[in-house]
Amino acid sequence: MQIYNTLTRTKEEFEPIEDNHVRMYCCGPTVYNYAHIGNLRTYIFEDILRRALLFNGYKITHCMNITDVGHLESDADEGEDKMEKGAMREGLTVWELARKYESAWMEDMNRLNIERPEVICRATEHITSMINLVQKILDNGYGYIAPGAVYFDTTKFPKYADFAHLDLSGLQAGAGGRVQLLGEKKHPNDFALWFLNKPRHIMQWDSPWGPGYPGWHIECSAMSMQYLGDQFDIHCGGVDHIPVHHTNEIAQSEAASGKPFVKYWMHGEFLLVSKTDDDKKTDKNTQEEAAKMSKSSENFLTLQVLIDKGFDPLAYRYLCLQAHYRSELRFSWDTLQSAQNGLRRIYTLTADSDPLSDEESFKAARDEVLSALNDDLNTPQMVGLLNRHNSFKLWREFDPILGLNIEARSRRDDGELPVEVQALVDERNQARKSKNWALSDDIRNKLIDMGYEVGDSPTGTTVKKKLL
Ligand SMILES: [Zn+2]
C-alpha cells in the first residue's frame, strides 16, 4: 500500500514496524455536543483506512480516545471551557454531559457503518498515565512549573517546528497579540501539560504539583503510548490537528521516550459548507467563503439533521467516498441527493446477468479497483471504476472497505424501507457485530414499537411491516 505521510510530505510504501501487525491511533471526539458532519467525515476516512489495512491482510490494533475532560475553546490554552459551558447550557453535570454525547457519537458511528476500534479510552480514566508522562517530561528536562500550569518548554525540543513547517520567528514577531498573551509562559509556543490553581474548574485530580487537570494534548500521548507502545505505525486526525495538537503530541512523546514517536501521520481534509444553497446561486463569492464546519461555532449540521431531511446516513458515507480524503469536500444538499440517488441505483444491482460473470474479466477489474485503493486510498477512483463496471459481484467484493451494506440492502425483499427504519436496521447490524447485545435489543424493541417484525438472518437484521 502507498500512503501519504504528513511527516515527510510524500507518498510512501507502507511497512509496519512489527511484521504484519498495524498499531494505529486516531484522535477521537470531545464529547460536549453532537458531532457535526465535518467531524464525521474524518471518522469515515479513518474507517476506510482501517478496513483497507484489514483487506490487505494486516492485523490491526486501532485505538481512539474520548476527550471527556473539559478543555479551552482554542488550542492556545485560553478561552472558555467547552465541557463546562455545555453542561451549563443543558443543566447537566459535566460527567452526565460527557456520557450523553459519547453515546450519541457511538450511535452516529453505527449509523455510518463505522467499525469499532479495538480500544476506546476515556481521558478521565487515564489520569495516572498522564501524570506519569508529565513527570517523565519534567525529569528529562523538557518542562517547567509555573503558578498556573506545568508547561512544556518548546525551546528544549529543537525539532518543534519541523512537523508542521512552522515559522516560529514569524509567530513571535508577527502576531503582537500572542506575545502579550505570553503571561507566565517562557515562549509563546509553550503549552500546558497540567493546569494548576483553577479552583473553579469542576474536574480536578491530585497531582505531584497540586490539584488540577490535564492539558488537552497530553491525553493522546499518554493513552496512545499506553496501548500501542512508545513507537507505533499510524496516527490520524484532521488537518487542523497538524500545527498545534499533533505538533505538541510529537514533542511530548519524544521528550519522554527519547525515540521517534509515530512512523506515518495521516490527515483528513475539511468539509466545506456553503452558508445556504440560495447564496450559492446568487453570489459566486459565497462559495469561496464557504465555512469550515466547526463544532465551536454553534451553527453546524449533524447526522440527525440529514436523517430528518430524509437522507440515508449511508448516502453521506457514499458522498464522502466520492472525494479523496486529502481534498476538501464541498457539502451541499444537491450533492447529498445525487449520492443518495447513486446509492439507490447500486442497491438495485443483482448477481443475475452480471457484466463480469467470467473469472478473467472479474479478476482484471478487481485488480484495477484494488490498486486504486492501495494508491493512498483513492476512493473516488474506486467508486468511478465500480460505477463503470456496474457489477454487483465487484461492488460486493469491495464492500468490506466501502461499508455501504451492498449485500444486505440489495437482497432485501421487503421493498424500500423508510430512512429512519433503515438507519435503525444498519445500527442494529453494527451493534451485533460489535457484540453490543443491549443496544441490539433496544433497537429491536424500537423497531417493534414502530410496527415491524424483526428477525435475524445470516446477512443481518430483517424487518417486515406487520400487517394490521
Ligand atoms: Zn489527539
Can you tell me the distance from the alpha carbon of 43 to that of 214, in angstroms, rounded to the nearest whole number? 25
Do 366 and 425 sit in the same domain of this protein? no
Is the residue at 427 inside a domain?
yes
In this predicted structure, which of 174-183, 267-276, 315-324 has the lowest mean pLDDT?
174-183
Is the residue at 401 inside a domain?
yes
Q: How far is the CA of 29 from the centre of ligand 1 (A)?
A: 9
Do 168 and 52 sit in the same domain of this protein? yes
Can you tell me the distance from the alpha carbon of 374 to that of 71, in angstroms, rounded to the nearest whole number? 37
Q: What is the mean pLDDT of residues 401-427?
A: 81
Give me the CATH number covering residue 220.
3.40.50.620
> Which residues in 268-295 are b (16+ Cβ under 10 Å) and which e?
bbbbbbbeeeeebeeeeebeeebeebeb
Q: With pLDDT > 70 as the criterion, what percentage of the chain qualifies? A: 88
In this predicted structure, which of 216-220, 243-247, 283-287, 346-350 has the lowest mean pLDDT?
283-287
Do 230 and 258 sit in the same domain of this protein? yes
pLDDT category, 108, cuts 50, 70, 90? Answer: very high
Q: How far is the CA of 457 from the centre of ligand 1 (A)?
A: 39
Q: How far is the CA of 245 from the centre of ligand 1 (A)?
A: 6
The yes-or-no verdict on residue 188 having pLDDT over 70 is: yes
Q: What is the mean pLDDT of residues 84-102?
A: 92
Given this model, what pLDDT does residue 320 score? 98
Do 33 and 121 sit in the same domain of this protein? yes
Q: How far is the CA of 362 from the centre of ligand 1 (A)?
A: 41
Given this model, what pLDDT does residue 199 score? 82
Q: Which domain holds residue 376?
A: 348-411
Is the residue at 94 inside a domain?
yes
Q: What is the mean pLDDT of residues 167-174?
A: 60
Give first-to-last CA distance, the chain, whole Å.
Answer: 54
Can you tell me the distance from the alpha carbon of 90 to that of 432, in angstroms, rounded to the nearest whole number? 32
Is the residue at 305 inside a domain?
no
Q: What is the helix (H) or strand (E) element at residue 360, kind and residue range?
A: helix 359-373
Q: How far is the CA of 275 from the centre of ligand 1 (A)?
A: 29
Is the residue at 301 inside a domain?
no
Is the residue at 399 inside a domain?
yes
Can you tell me the distance from the alpha carbon of 211 to that of 29, in angstroms, rounded to the nearest whole number? 25
Can you tell me the distance from the alpha carbon of 280 to that of 171, in angstroms, rounded to the nearest whole number? 35
Can you tell me the distance from the alpha carbon of 118 to that of 159, in angstroms, rounded to the nearest whole number? 32
Is the residue at 125 inside a domain?
yes
Q: How many domains does the chain have?
A: 3
Q: How far is the CA of 388 from the centre of ligand 1 (A)?
A: 39
Can you tell me the distance from the alpha carbon of 424 to that of 447, in angstroms, rounded to the nearest whole number? 8
pLDDT digits (tens, 9 = 90+) for 298-351: 457 999 999 999 999 999 999 999 999 999 999 999 999 999 999 999 998 888
Judge residue 129's burial from the number of C-beta atoms within 10 Å of its C-beta, 0-12 exposed, 13-18 middle, 19 or more buried. buried
Q: What is the mean pLDDT of residues 278-292?
A: 46
pLDDT category, 467, cuts 50, 70, 90? Answer: low
Q: How far is the CA of 463 from the centre of ligand 1 (A)?
A: 40
Q: How far is the CA of 207 from the centre of ligand 1 (A)?
A: 22
In this predicted structure, which of 73-87, 157-171, 228-242, 256-270 has the lowest mean pLDDT?
73-87
Do 383 and 418 sit in the same domain of this protein? no
Given this model, what pLDDT does residue 119 score? 98
Given this model, what pLDDT does residue 464 score? 82
Question: In whole angstroms, what separates CA 389 from the centre of its chain?
Answer: 31
Can you tell me the distance from the alpha carbon of 179 to that of 423, in angstroms, rounded to the nearest whole number? 50
Running DSSP on this structure, what letter comes out for residue 258? Answer: S
Do 89 and 236 sit in the same domain of this protein? yes
Do 166 and 86 sit in the same domain of this protein? yes
The yes-or-no verdict on residue 173 having pLDDT over 50 is: no
The yes-or-no verdict on residue 275 having pLDDT over 70 is: no
The yes-or-no verdict on residue 297 having pLDDT over 60 is: no
In this predicted structure, which of 14-28, 339-353, 362-376 has the lowest mean pLDDT?
339-353
The yes-or-no verdict on residue 111 having pLDDT over 50 is: yes
Q: How far is the CA of 467 from the centre of ligand 1 (A)?
A: 50
Nearest to 70 by CA among 88, 50, 43: 88
Q: What is the mean pLDDT of the chain?
A: 89
Do 217 and 352 sit in the same domain of this protein? no
C-alpha cell at 255: 521528550
Q: How far is the CA of 183 from the centre of ligand 1 (A)?
A: 26
Is the residue at 111 inside a domain?
yes
Strands 59-66 and 119-122: parallel
DSSP 3-state assignment of 259? coil
Last-in-domain residue among 245, 268, 291: 268
Q: What is the mean pLDDT of residues 144-157?
A: 96
Check if the beta carbon of residue 318 is closer than 8 Å to that of residue 343.
Answer: yes
Last-in-domain residue among 411, 427, 446: 411
Do 51 and 186 sit in the same domain of this protein? yes
Would residue 57 be called left, alpha or beta, if left means φ above 0 and alpha means ψ between -120 and 50 degrees?
left
Q: Which residues have C-beta within 8 Å of that of residue 136, sequence separation ≥ 6?
A: 256
C-alpha radius of gyration, the chain, whole number: 24
Q: How far is the CA of 27 from the centre of ligand 1 (A)?
A: 4
Do 195 and 210 sit in the same domain of this protein? yes
The yes-or-no verdict on residue 142 having pLDDT over 60 is: yes
Last-in-domain residue among 217, 247, 268: 268
Do 424 and 355 sit in the same domain of this protein? no
Q: Which residues have C-beta within 8 Å of that of residue 378, sequence separation ≥ 6?
A: 324, 372
The yes-or-no verdict on residue 73 having pLDDT over 60 is: no
- The residue among 366 and 275 whose pLDDT is bigger is 366
pLDDT category, 155, cuts 50, 70, 90? Answer: very high
Q: What is the mean pLDDT of residues 82-99?
A: 90
Can you tell me the distance from the alpha carbon of 145 to that of 295, in angstroms, rounded to the nearest whole number? 32
Number of H helices, E strands in the chain: 19, 16
Q: Does the global pTM surpass 0.75?
A: yes
pLDDT digits (tens, 9 = 90+) for 316-330: 999 999 999 999 999
Q: What is the helix (H) or strand (E) element at residue 454, kind and residue range?
A: strand 452-457
Q: How far is the CA of 366 from the centre of ligand 1 (A)?
A: 36
Do 376 and 450 sit in the same domain of this protein? no
